[in-house]
Amino acid sequence: MADKSRRSVAFARPDAEAFAHKAITLWLPILYFLISSLFFLRTYDSAQVKISMMQMGGLGLLTLWLCRLALAGRAAFNREDLVTLAPFLAYLAIGVSSFIHAPYRMASVDFFLRHMFYMIVALIAIYELDQPSVEGLFRWLIRAAWVAIGYGTLQFIDTRAFPPGVGQGIDPFVWRGAFGPRVFSTYGNPNFYGDFLVIIFPILLTQFFKTRRWSLVPLMAMLLVNLFATGTKGAWLGFAFVCVLFGVFALTYFREQSRPYRKYVLGAAAAGALGLIGYTARDLETRVVSINFRLFTWEATWEMIRTQPWIGSGVGAFPPLYPAFRRPPIFHIEGKHNTETDHAEDEYLEEFLDHGILGFGIFLWLIVSTLTVGFRSLGQLTASLSLKDGRPPPRAWDLAGLLVSLCGMLGHNFFDVSLRFVSSGVYLGLLCGLIVNVARGRALFELHPRAPAAENAAGSPWRTISDLLIWPARLAAVGGIFYLAFLRDHASAPGAMIGGMFGEFSAILGPLDHAMAAPSGEGLQWWLAWTVFAGCMLSLGWALIRLCFLAETPVVPAIVLIALQPLYQFWGYFRADVHHNIAIYFSKDHEWGPAISNYLRVTQLNPDFVMSKYFLGNVFNDRFNMTKVSMPEWGDPGKDPMDDYERALYWYNEVRRLSPNYVQMHHQVGSLHLRRAQWAMDNHHPQAEVDHYLDLAMTRFRMYEQIDPVYPPNYFRIAQIYMMRKQYPQAIRTYQELIAAQACA
């Protein structure tokens, strides 16, 4: 009996490892399918669900992998593995270092999480994906292509065959025609969708050559239609580069297979490349402003790089720093002054800005080493000795598609920053990891065969501690999962059947009858949202619980328990975006109470959401009730009574703490001080008080002038201050400065 018990314990860890491996290799492709396919129209950003899926799903993936490594122990890696993983680990480390010295956490947190996810996926792809898992991943990527391209084709037909307006065509969703005739599919933006098409086409084409699956032919035909319908010049140039690469690959690595079709291959590659370049040039004749926009942005970015060339300005530094360097012509190109440029329109410049010379060198090391490994392996796989019946092995087609896909994405990012956005940026880590994996021919874990773990010596300290802690740890992990999913904050939602994340998601979607009664595909979205949410939550929760009970060490349930808090934090980011959208709705109707309560909820759920703080300041600035009352429910920081001037100033200062030159914050604060001065005059307050607030207003207007020297209302208000002080020559000179527009000379 004792021997039987020992055998069950001895084989417990390998069983747990096998289950963790299976869960990882199933969840990774599904996660990428969901990131590609999901959108949610009740958030402020329709792509926020992709970000949340990356954060929450990525954390689930990392938790499974950490459990797997904990079960493997010291046998998980050896020193030789560092040769393979070194570029990825170095780029991961430079992201951590860059985040630590980043000056403003507002932008850094989000982009730091993306940086971590990209590299963690690459490490998992290298370590975990054996040949069946790689094949399964390709199948899920093809499914993602069917969903995205299918919906894009529906949009293409809808915008050309039906009249404009919500509910007037075959696209059932409220964002119908958001970009006019341009197609954006499930990506919510034509540029991101175009980048996805550039990435996925080489994979589809090489999978066709590998499998002769004819259903891929109409899919690729629809892809080409969608590519042109995106109206994205960067994607067209990226696709032209892909055409050239396919011609080079066919004549270099697949010489024997392409020999009978050499003329056709050369003709197709040349026609595709030259045709797309010509089409792009023709389009630029009518949309040359996009070139000017990029040139001015690149010039400003280079000046930003020169301020911290060695260590960089920190990950995600571009949004808070750029307003101080933005060129005045940008405002004329955009025709707006209340917008924010988030990125440099060139991934390599932004990498240089974030990480400096050292970090940019590591990024290049990662790319060059990945491509070198891939091209060398492809050369070996397509050599004459490797051919079977005149055909290269299936792995050669996989590797060729991945290499062309990565090169196409890298080419596109000379004109764009799609790596900075989750929808297309997630493919950086996946493609690099897959190239190394497929080039090596085996997953890293397969090179470390492990026998079943021997039972620890009886009476050893760790064995004793493990036996004492294993069941409390398991129960704590299971209890934490159930509490987070079904019980948390239940008391704060009276009348709700359940609490936790399920209860909160139910509150976001509302009842089914309301969704079915609403127009614009709300009912369809309700069913799809619940299916995805419940499916992901229940399946991942079950996998983690089962893993806790399979493992014979308390380390595994401890890892699961630790992961629950950041998981709920990421869930809060998603809910914050929903509340932000609701708050904007109420703000437009001047329903201040519900607007303020929703904005405050955003700041609680996501303290770094700077836009919500800015809008809160604008709400109190617009409302401008000067009666002093104590309103803790409106976010008053202390017990002392406050008026709306003080509340607005408090929230603008919060904005300045996170992003010192955010959008039109300085102009808004100047307007606030000016209103305060006017109120003091109207209520016959001392002139010294009026002058004090006029001085404060003038200071802020002058600060905003340094950021945006072509904003007419800023000059009008400066002149207004001079006229209030009866300084008419200065007011005239201010108007003359506006007319002269020296900043644009």
Mean pLDDT by groups of 10 residues along the chain of 745 residues = 36 71 96 92 82 95 94 84 92 93 83 93 95 95 96 94 84 86 91 91 93 93 94 82 84 75 69 66 65 86 93 90 88 79 87 94 96 93 70 89 92 79 90 95 83 53 78 94 88 70 89 76 86 95 94 93 95 93 91 92 92 93 91 85 93 92 91 95 92 95 92 93 93 91 73
In a domain, 668, yes or no: yes
Query: Do residues 632 and 558 share a domain?
Result: no
Query: Do residues 559 and 639 share a domain?
Result: no
Query: Do residues 19 and 56 share a domain?
Result: yes
> In which residue are the tokens 């201010």 written?
734
* CA dist., res. 417 & res. 432, Å (int): 17
Contact 655, 614 (CB under 8 A): yes
* CA dist., res. 202 & res. 208, Å (int): 10
3-state secondary structure of 629: strand
Cross-strand bridge partners of residue 388: 391
- For the record, the structure tokens of 551 come out as 């493992």
- For the record, the structure tokens of 663 come out as 């959008």
What is the distance of C-alpha 464 from the center of its chain?
45
| Closest to 202 (Cα-Cα) out of 407, 372, 382 | 407
Phi, psi of 521 (to 5 degrees): 70, 20
> Nearest 5°: CA angle at 327, between 324 and 329?
145
In a domain, 678, yes or no: yes
Contact 668, 617 (CB under 8 A): yes
* CA dist., res. 171 & res. 173, Å (int): 6
* CA dist., res. 13 & res. 39, Å (int): 39
Q: What is the DSSP code (8-state) at residue 657?
A: H
Contact 697, 673 (CB under 8 A): yes
Query: Do residues 597 and 657 share a domain?
Result: yes
pLDDT attached to residue 331: 83
Query: Do residues 494 and 607 share a domain?
Result: no
Query: Do residues 597 and 739 share a domain?
Result: yes
- Report the b/e string of 574-596 with b at 16+ CB within 10 A: bbbbbbbbbbbebbeeeebeebb
In a domain, 96, yes or no: no
CB atoms within 10 A of CB 116: 20
> Nearest 5°: CA angle at 188, between 186 and 194?
80
- For the record, the structure tokens of 357 come out as 């010379």
Query: Do residues 611 and 566 share a domain?
Result: no
Cα dihedral 135→140→142→148 (10° resolution) = -170
In a domain, 406, yes or no: no
Query: Do residues 496 and 644 share a domain?
Result: no
Residue 286, C-beta contacts closer than 8 angstroms, at least 6 positions apart:
none
What is the largest distance, in Å, between two alpha-carbon atoms of the chain?
Answer: 102
Which of 558, 573, 588 is the C-terminal boundary of a domain? 573
Which of 554, 573, 592 is the C-terminal boundary of a domain? 573
Residue 4, C-beta contacts closer than 8 angstroms, at least 6 positions apart:
none
pLDDT tens column, 477-518: 999 999 999 988 876 655 567 888 999 998 888 888 877 777
Which of 518, 547, 573 is the C-terminal boundary of a domain? 573
Contact 127, 679 (CB under 8 A): no
In a domain, 294, yes or no: no
In a domain, 217, yes or no: no
* CA dist., res. 85 & res. 93, Å (int): 12
> In which residue are the tokens 């499998």 written?
211
Contact 387, 394 (CB under 8 A): no
pLDDT attached to residue 282: 63
- Which CATH number covers residue 737? 1.25.40.10
CB atoms within 10 A of CB 464: 12
Hey, what long-range contacts does 376-381 have (CB within 8 A, 24 or more apart)?
376/439, 377/438, 377/439, 377/440, 377/441, 378/253, 378/403, 378/439, 379/253
The strand ranges marked E within 21-123 are none
Query: Do residues 587 and 733 share a domain?
Result: yes
> In which residue are the tokens 């000067």 written?
626
Contact 106, 608 (CB under 8 A): yes
* CA dist., res. 111 & res. 662, Å (int): 18
Distance from the first to the final alpha carbon of the chain: 91
Query: Do residues 631 and 541 share a domain?
Result: no
> In which residue are the tokens 């709300």 written?
522
Which amino acid type is present at position 145? A
Q: What is the DSSP code (8-state) at residue 453?
A: P
pTM tops 0.85, yes or no: yes
Query: Do residues 555 and 626 share a domain?
Result: no
Contact 242, 201 (CB under 8 A): yes
pLDDT tens column, 440-465: 989 998 887 665 554 444 556 767 77
> In which residue are the tokens 């891939």 written?
374
> In which residue are the tokens 């397509």 written?
382
Q: What is the DSSP code (8-state) at residue 451?
A: P
| Closest to 89 (Cα-Cα) out of 104, 74, 100, 77 | 77
Q: In terms of residue numbers, what domain contains 546?
A: 1-77+464-573
- C-alpha gyration radius of the chain: 29
Phi, psi of 148 (to 5 degrees): -65, -50
In a domain, 431, yes or no: no
Contact 402, 438 (CB under 8 A): yes
Residue 679, C-beta contacts closer than 8 angstroms, at least 6 positions apart:
624, 626, 645
In a domain, 662, yes or no: yes
Signed CA dihedral, 493, 495, 501, 504: sign only: negative
Q: Provide the number of structural domains found in the chain.
A: 2
Query: Do residues 606 and 716 share a domain?
Result: yes
